[in-house]
């Protein structure tokens, strides 16, 4: 089997390696010629068998993915198949599918989880789209997913958009899980009783209710840097946590934990919180409580 | 009427002034001789009529209040009355009442709201204790509370402890209200559309659903300092927010807003959040996401 | 002065009454002929002076408002002015303004607060748009806003969209304030110490830090129904709380209190929470904890 | 090695089985004679070698544990060792240790995680106390903990109290993790796109960032009951979540996620929320919004 792969960044390059290890031929294209196997998207298309081409798109969500889908709609032929494995918003999938369907080209959206560890361990895959198209791409999915029973690392979750929706929710959960461990870590450190915080976390990796892969990673991070002294408390968010809360609001689903985790990240990036200045100002107004002036040492 | 007042700090001194303006004679005692009308607590007791003494205690909660109550239990006589108007925890009131009742001395607990504005406007009063003792102290309550109908600034809320419990809940609500305005203020400032944030808040002071005394104070604070540029975002908490959440947990009452307001204050005081370092470390572990090192400029 | 008013529902009809009381002539149109002063929007336009017409739109946000604006764009003349006083999303205002500007017609967006009480008390007004157009409409604003200094019930908050943005934030704050009082009310009721919950809330209406118009309304509600026994705990949301949290997420502003208040409403409307079923199922799985079967009496 | 085990409920009985399988002789005592190996606590003590006795206590926290510790203080001899493996609050451990130390008896507190699965998998153990006493009990810990490296299922976390403190934090984290999955589950079910919710969760068990033992349990629960139709959304809490939030408040550590998870459980148990009735009543007051009467069908 020979497929095309568009986007050879960190994730795309690793996936190409994993696919090739499974004896799937991969023609990779990246707009950076140093990374690319072919000089252009058109060149990539030419390397694949018309009418049964499979092109996996792994570029940033939004404009870059839109652009690739539009170009592929021009280049591909009826019967070909495009798979968007990037972190697109699920609401984009319908339009992408329609654009391609107008030319007889299939479309699947795939949520891909596993990060840098996916190369070695395999990637968790959530797929949206038509049954027949999913079946056609199954050899690719089987190569990418972790070894073991297929249904433990792969799901055909529903119609077009379901793959990215599922991945979005996956990431929302991830925000909540990480924040839960983070709060627990801070609480361990706040007690004079606990003299071995990293050891306590490590002891949770077998037998306990809270054991998980994220906990294993935290133990690993603490082995490298037992106090996390080299890491800032400034935390980025990649957008999928925001989408999760937005989707929850649309559906009137209460998500107090996922939203709290998202807001903790927002707050972590503020040098100076306008909101908390208001609270300080109000306390000063009604109580004559002392405030810290912004100029004084803290 | 002549009463004793123990504790002549900011609140106590203002209350003495308001009481005297209402023609109640006040003998004030403070351990700081520069503030005190009498040299000792014993001296204060001597100035009052045995068996119908009323001593209002206005000292810090905890050990200082315990000490004054213990000493008054020795000095006072059956029929006298002690009122704790400080910010004691409601769970202390039962013990204080029992200590005094063992010697035939009455006890009321009073939550007092109004801050530095109480001198001019009157204080909101919430009282716990026996009906007859409340009636005996009513001239004092009437002098301290705002003018207008008694039930709009005074309540006999229940048995011993009810006054401080009500004040605790009042302060818990206050945390939530302040945080709500604070979040709104920050949202106004985050929009390019809004060119007049202080003016928008001021326009809410009449006619709107969110008009309140706290909003008036915020408008006042912004008149002095339109960007709150001189105020740090570091916010203290006085303990009653913590007690409110503790009480909610004991009673299995969900308090997502009051607790969120409390935690925002805790976070405001952290230079470096151990929890958020964990989240950053985890993102780096699984995603190869860049983190800020703690040493780099932010 | 004579103006047009489109939409004579509860809000629109009250506003017409208040405007007429201020000697502003109002030609009202509603698609319900029983309420309408004129048979059609075209009829309304004919009653007003071309080139200086002012038409206030007070219809539901979204499609109804879009439709009225589109129709007015056809009917009005250069120099006329449309004001959207409904609860439109601020992101709609730019398009409305552009549609009208293409024909030389002006546009202001106005957030209106005050509910059913606005008729008697006046409405808090937040306005977005150009200075000259705001000036032209000032007699209308002055008639609608509460008496007293103009800047205590009116603001020209910024450019087109600012009025609705400010109103959105106002309502987000309102969610937080209401939930704060609600949590406090429940906490008062959870204590055996407190024997007079309505009286405690009433005692907070003067002198305290938490006094507000919403508190006055709560006292009024409890005077009618001291245990709120006739009211269900099912709480609707009108959309502006959702928009506020969405806007906060877009701007990376932490809003833990406003979002908690929103999610409490979502949860109040669930007969059966899928999320809490998961938590119950997990406890059963790992701990052998008993669960309630959904069929058993609760 | 022969030890005593007090409390043969679900956890105690399983632990006895696991210890015996590791060739540790266990004399079990339970106040229920049908479960007990000996007729009394005194009888249990007689079966063990004086001066090197090890008695593991596995009874409910609070009064039952206090009573057993008091009785053991009378029965045991200097050099003996008591281990509290129950879910005691960490603040109780100091008193227990002091009571026993006064008679030369040692004391360790151990947090035990693993639930009903511990019998087969081993228990995660967190220990507080003196080094020498920990060493003496190590054969017991090695028998109970999961196979594999000792430090992946066991930790000597610190001084007396550290074991229970660590277990408390473990459980607090557990609350947050469970709620995160629960919110995600509800979000999956809220989308029309997702046609296979249980399959999506199962696909997350390998390769993804959110894989964990709790996720495995959720997949298992859904295999038994794909819609959780037989499980009520009423969720108990065992107390350790409350203690975690209390400890966080004492230490001024923000725990928005753990507290949100706790409050979601409180709310799940309310038939009628006083707080949400207040919000409904307020909406009715200011907006004339319709409320549901409590009597009407929902």
pLDDT tens track for D19-53: 999 999 999 999 999 999 999 999 999 999 999 99
How far, in Å, CA of D7 to CA of D21, rounded?
A: 18
pLDDT band at A291 (very low <50, low <70, confident <90, very high): low
Q: Is residue A217 part of a domain?
A: yes
One domain for residues B111 and B147: yes
pLDDT tens track for A174-194: 999 999 999 999 999 999 999
According to the model, what pLDDT value does residue C294 have?
A: 60
One domain for residues D126 and D180: no
- Phi, psi (deg, nearest 5) at residue B199: -65, -35
Contact list, B218 vs chain C (CB under 8 Å): none
Out of B253, B255, B266, name the one closest to residue D254 (CB).
B266
| Interface contact A221-B293, CB threshold 8 A | no
Instruction: List the structure tokens of A159.
Output: 């119609």
pLDDT band at C291 (very low <50, low <70, confident <90, very high): low
Q: Which residues contact C165 (CB under 8 A, 6 or more apart)?
A: B188, B191, B193, B194, C90, C111, C128, C157, C158, C247
pLDDT band at A118 (very low <50, low <70, confident <90, very high): very high
Is the confidence at residue D292, as pLDDT, over 80? no
Say whether residue B266 is in contact with chain D using an 8 A CB cutoff.
yes
Contact list, B256 vs chain D (CB under 8 Å): 259-260, 263
Say whether residue D179 is in contact with chain C using an 8 A CB cutoff.
yes
- Whether the CB-CB separation of A268 and B227 falls below 8 Å is answered with no
| Interface contact C253-A266, CB threshold 8 A | yes
Contact list, A184 vs chain D (CB under 8 Å): 169-170, 172-173, 176, 258
Say whether residue C269 is in contact with chain A using an 8 A CB cutoff.
yes
Say whether residue B249 is in contact with chain D using an 8 A CB cutoff.
yes
Name the closest residue on chain C to residue D176, using Cα atoms: C279
According to the model, what pLDDT value does residue C29 have?
A: 98
Last residue of a domain, one of D159, D176, D206: D159
| Ramachandran class of A28: left when φ > 0, alpha when ψ lies in -120 to 50, beta otherwise | beta
Out of C186, C267, C278, name the one closest to residue D228 (CB).
C278
One domain for residues A7 and A154: yes
Is the confidence at residue A255, as pLDDT, over 70? yes
Out of B242, B246, B256, name the one closest to residue D260 (CB).
B256
| Interface contact A209-D209, CB threshold 8 A | no
One domain for residues A21 and A112: yes
One domain for residues C11 and C128: yes
* Helices and strands, counts by H and E, chain B: 13, 7
Q: Spell A92-129 as b/e; 16+ CB within 10 A means b.
A: bbeebbebbeeeebbbbbbbbbbbbbbbebbbbbbbbb
Which ipTM score applies to this complex? 0.95
According to the model, what pLDDT value does residue B294 have?
A: 60
Q: Average pLDDT in the D258-284 region?
A: 97
Contact list, A156 vs chain D (CB under 8 Å): 196, 199
Give the SS3 label for residue A214. Answer: helix
Give the count of Cβ contacts less than 8 A between chain A and B.
209
User: Per-block average pLDDT, block size 10, for chain B (298 residues)?
Assistant: 96 97 98 96 97 97 97 98 98 98 98 93 97 98 98 98 98 98 98 98 97 97 96 94 98 98 98 96 84 51
Q: Average pLDDT in the C98-119 region?
A: 96
| Interface contact A274-B298, CB threshold 8 A | no
- Residue-by-residue DSSP string for D186-220: HHHHT-SSBS-HHHHHHHTSSSSTT-BHHHHHHHH
Last residue of a domain, one of C141, C159, C177: C159
pLDDT tens track for D153-193: 999 999 999 999 999 999 999 999 999 999 999 999 999 99
According to the model, what pLDDT value does residue C297 have?
A: 36
| Interface contact A194-D152, CB threshold 8 A | no
| Interface contact B256-D249, CB threshold 8 A | no
- Whether the CB-CB separation of A60 and A86 falls below 8 Å is answered with yes
Q: Is residue B244 part of a domain?
A: yes
Assign residue C28 the CATH number of its domain.
3.40.50.720
pLDDT band at D298 (very low <50, low <70, confident <90, very high): very low
Last residue of a domain, one of C159, C175, C194: C159
% of chain C with per-residue pLDDT over 90: 95
One domain for residues B6 and B154: yes
- From C25, C46, C74, C167, active-site residue: C167
Q: Is residue B294 part of a domain?
A: no
Enumerate residues 99 to 118 of chain D having a beta carbon within 8 A of any beta carbon in chain A.
113-115, 118
Q: Is residue A296 part of a domain?
A: no
According to the model, what pLDDT value does residue D289 have?
A: 67
Best mutation target among C141, C208, C276 (most B Cβ atoms within 10 Å) is C208
How far, in Å, CA of A204 to CA of A216, rounded?
A: 9
Beta bridge partners of B29: B6
Give the count of Cβ contacts less than 8 A between chain B and D.
50
| Interface contact A184-D190, CB threshold 8 A | no
Say whether residue B253 is in contact with chain D using an 8 A CB cutoff.
yes
| Side-chain-side CA neighbours of residue D87 (13 Å) | 17
How far, in Å, CA of C77 to CA of C105, rounded?
A: 7
- Phi, psi (deg, nearest 5) at residue A96: -60, -45
One domain for residues A76 and A173: no
Say whether residue C290 is in contact with chain B using an 8 A CB cutoff.
no
Contact list, A271 vs chain C (CB under 8 Å): none
Burial class (CB in 10 A: 0-12, 13-18, 19+), B88: buried
pTM, whole model, 2 decimals? 0.96
Best mutation target among B275, B290, B295 (most A Cβ atoms within 10 Å) is B275
Burial class (CB in 10 A: 0-12, 13-18, 19+), C21: exposed
Give the SS3 label for residue B128. Answer: strand
- Indicate if C167 belongs to the active site: yes
Q: If you compute the radius of gyration of chain A from its CA atoms, what whole number of angstroms results?
A: 23
> In angstroms, what separates the C-alpha of D27 from chain A's closest C-alpha?
25
pLDDT band at A115 (very low <50, low <70, confident <90, very high): confident
| Interface contact C245-A242, CB threshold 8 A | no
> In angstroms, what separates the C-alpha of D115 from chain C's closest C-alpha?
5
- Locate tokens 């799901």: which residue? A155
Q: Is residue A298 part of a domain?
A: no
Name the closest residue on chain A to residue B171, using Cα atoms: A283
% of chain D with per-residue pLDDT over 90: 95
- Whether the CB-CB separation of B255 and D263 falls below 8 Å is answered with yes
Contact list, B298 vs chain A (CB under 8 Å): 232, 234, 271
> In angstroms, what separates the C-alpha of D214 from chain A's closest C-alpha?
7
Q: Which residues contact D63 (CB under 8 A, 6 or more apart)?
A: none
Q: Is residue D295 part of a domain?
A: no
One domain for residues B111 and B9: yes
Name the closest residue on chain A to residue D123, using Cα atoms: A207
Q: Are strands C2-6 and B154-158 parallel, antiparallel or unpaired?
A: unpaired
Say whether residue C178 is in contact with chain D using an 8 A CB cutoff.
yes
> In angstroms, what separates the C-alpha of B175 from chain D's closest C-alpha?
15
Q: Is residue A292 part of a domain?
A: no
Query: What are the angstrom distances between the C-alpha of B219 and each of B29, B197, D273?
Result: 37, 10, 34
One domain for residues D172 and D275: yes
Contact list, A238 vs chain B (CB under 8 Å): 289
Q: Is residue A113 part of a domain?
A: yes
Out of A275, A287, A294, name the one closest to residue B229 (CB).
A294
- Phi, psi (deg, nearest 5) at residue C133: -70, -35
| Interface contact B169-C187, CB threshold 8 A | yes
According to the model, what pLDDT value does residue B297 have?
A: 36
According to the model, what pLDDT value does residue A290 have?
A: 61
> In angstroms, what separates the C-alpha of B40 from chain C's closest C-alpha?
32
| Interface contact C266-A246, CB threshold 8 A | no
- Whether the CB-CB separation of B97 and B65 falls below 8 Å is answered with no
How far, in Å, CA of A207 to CA of D122, rounded?
A: 6
pLDDT tens track for D200-249: 999 999 999 999 999 999 999 999 999 999 999 999 998 999 999 999 99
Instruction: List the structure tokens of C71.
Output: 């129709």
Assign residue D209 the CATH number of its domain.
1.10.1040.10
One domain for residues C200 and C152: no
- Whether the CB-CB separation of B10 and A286 falls below 8 Å is answered with no
Q: How many domains does chain B fold into?
A: 2
- Whether the CB-CB separation of C280 and C288 falls below 8 Å is answered with no
pLDDT tens track for A69-83: 999 999 999 999 999
| Interface contact B177-C152, CB threshold 8 A | no
One domain for residues B151 and B171: no
> In angstroms, what separates the C-alpha of D229 from chain A's closest C-alpha?
19
Residues of A marked as catalytic? 167, 174
Q: Which domain holds residue D44?
A: 2-159
According to the model, what pLDDT value does residue C298 have?
A: 32
Among A2-6, B293-297, C75-79, C292-296, the minimum mean pLDDT is found in B293-297
Residues of B marked as catalytic? 167, 174
One domain for residues C151 and C175: no
Q: Which residues contact B210 (CB under 8 A, 6 or more apart)?
A: B181, B204, C113, C170, C173, C174, C177, C212, C213, C214
According to the model, what pLDDT value does residue D115 have?
A: 87
Instruction: List the structure tokens of D293.
Output: 């009467």
Find the helix or strand (DSSP H, E) in which C105 lies: none
């Amino acid at each position: 089997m020979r497929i095309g792969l568009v986007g050879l960044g960190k994730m795309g390059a690793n996936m190409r390696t994993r696919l090739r290890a499974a004896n799937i031929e991969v023609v990779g294209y990246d707009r950076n010629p140093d990374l690319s196997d072919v000089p252009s998207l058109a060149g990539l298309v030419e390397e694949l068998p018309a009418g049964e081409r499979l092109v996996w798109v792994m570029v940033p969500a939004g404009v870059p993915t839109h652009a690739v889908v539009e170009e592929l709609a021009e280049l591909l032929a009826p019967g070909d198949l495009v798979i968007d494995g990037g972190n697109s918003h699920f609401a984009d999938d319908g339009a992408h599918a329609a654009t391609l369907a107008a030319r007889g080209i299939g479309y699947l959206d795939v949520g891909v989880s596993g990060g840098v560890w996916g190369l070695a361990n395999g990637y968790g895959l959530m797929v949206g789209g038509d049954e027949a198209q999913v079946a056609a791409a199954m050899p690719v999915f089987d190569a990418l997913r972790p070894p073991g029973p297929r249904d433990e690392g792969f799901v055909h979750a529903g119609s077009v958009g379901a793959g990215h929706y599922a991945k979005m929710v996956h990431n929302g959960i991830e925000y909540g899980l990480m924040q839960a461990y983070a709060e627990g870590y801070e609480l361990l450190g706040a007690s004079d009783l606990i003299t071995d915080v990293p050891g306590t976390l490590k002891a949770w990796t077998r037998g306990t209710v809270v054991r998980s892969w994220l906990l294993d990673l935290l133990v690993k991070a603490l082995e490298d840097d037992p106090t996390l002294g080299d890491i800032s408390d400034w935390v980025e968010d990649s957008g999928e946590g925001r989408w999760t809360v937005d989707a929850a609001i649309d559906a009137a689903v209460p998500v107090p934990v996922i939203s709290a985790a998202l807001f903790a990240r927002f707050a972590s990036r503020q040098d100076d919180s306008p909101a908390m200045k208001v609270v300080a100002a109000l306390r000063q107004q009604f109580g004559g409580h002392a405030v810290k002036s912004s100029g004084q040492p803290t």
